[in-house]
Amino acid sequence: MTNNHVPTVFGILVVLAALAAPANAAEVTPNSGSPAEFGAKLLVCNICHGENGVPKNATIPVIGGQQESYLVKQLHDFSSGDRNFEVMSWMASTLSQAELGAAAANFAKKSWPARSAGAASTSPPAMVAVCEVCHQQNFVGGLPAPRLAGQSYEYLVEAMRRFAQGERTNNADMMKIMAAISPAEREAMARYLSGL
């Protein structure tokens, strides 16, 4: 005779484990320092990315309200050297693994900054449909890819150029896609996406 209680017991253990886990990474207190120290590290991010979510320079991406999974990957890639940008590589190296996830969760739960009154969307260029496959409907991002809608033209066109020319190598698919698109098409795509 088989024991029919195993699936029930297993189900109860899964539910208990889910209830005991934090709702998201932001609730995890990093172990490597005090909450004040971790908070100070996050304040350093505001120097470039902006206290209110609007970056200080148009070549710097909006990270407040960005996809948490994307932010975790980028911080990990900066920390490991898979993505190289001097300031971010240094900043990510100051964070423990627990702090990388907590920092990503902190920025992901912020609101995306409101679009400036002067921003006007152009008609969608033909090649932008390729982006929607990963970056989701209306380019607001999702698990496979970050939000593009509302990022600055300057950041988008430079990120696309870096992928196309092999300077940014932490996403092989993006490297292939951007290399196949002309600079003029990338500029039109960046202009359209920045106006959304």
Q: What is the pLDDT of residues 118-169, one digit of tens each?
A: 555 678 998 899 999 999 999 999 887 999 999 999 999 999 999 999 999 9
Picking from 52, 86, 111, the residue at the C-terminal end of a domain is 111
Q: Is 138 left (phi over 0), alpha (psi -120 to 50) or beta?
A: left
Rounded to 10 degrees, the C-alpha dihedral 53/57/63/66 comes to: 100
Length of the chain: 196
Q: Is 72 inside any structural domain?
A: yes
Q: Are residues 138 and 158 in the same domain?
A: yes
> Which domain does 194 fall in, by range?
120-196
- Assign residue 82 the CATH number of its domain: 1.10.760.10
Provide the angle, in degrees to the nearest 10, between the axes of the packed helices 35-49 and 86-93: 170
Picking from 111, 142, 163, the residue at the C-terminal end of a domain is 111
Per residue of the chain (196 residues), what is the pLDDT tens digit?
A: 444 443 333 333 333 333 333 443 334 445 557 888 888 999 999 999 998 888 999 999 999 999 999 999 999 999 999 999 999 999 999 999 999 999 999 999 999 998 765 555 678 998 899 999 999 999 999 887 999 999 999 999 999 999 999 999 999 999 999 999 999 999 999 999 999 9
- H and E: helices and strands count for the chain: 9, 0
Q: Is 16 inside any structural domain?
A: no
Q: Is 158 inside any structural domain?
A: yes
The structure tokens 């932001």 sit at 26
Q: Are residues 144 and 169 in the same domain?
A: yes
Picking from 111, 131, 146, the residue at the C-terminal end of a domain is 111
Domain count, the chain: 2
Q: Are residues 128 and 196 in the same domain?
A: yes
In whole angstroms, what separates CA 5 from the centre of its chain? 43
The pTM of the full predicted model, rounded to 2 decimals, is: 0.79
With DSSP H G I counted as helix, E B as strand and the rest as coil, what are the percentages for the chain, rounded to 5? 55, 0, 45
| Cβ pair 116, 196 in contact under 8 A | no
Whether the CA torsion 127, 131, 133, 137 is positive or negative: it is negative
Q: Is 164 inside any structural domain?
A: yes
* Closest C-alpha among 149, 77, 62, 158 to residue 108: 62
- pLDDT for position 20: 34
CA distance 165 to 178: 8
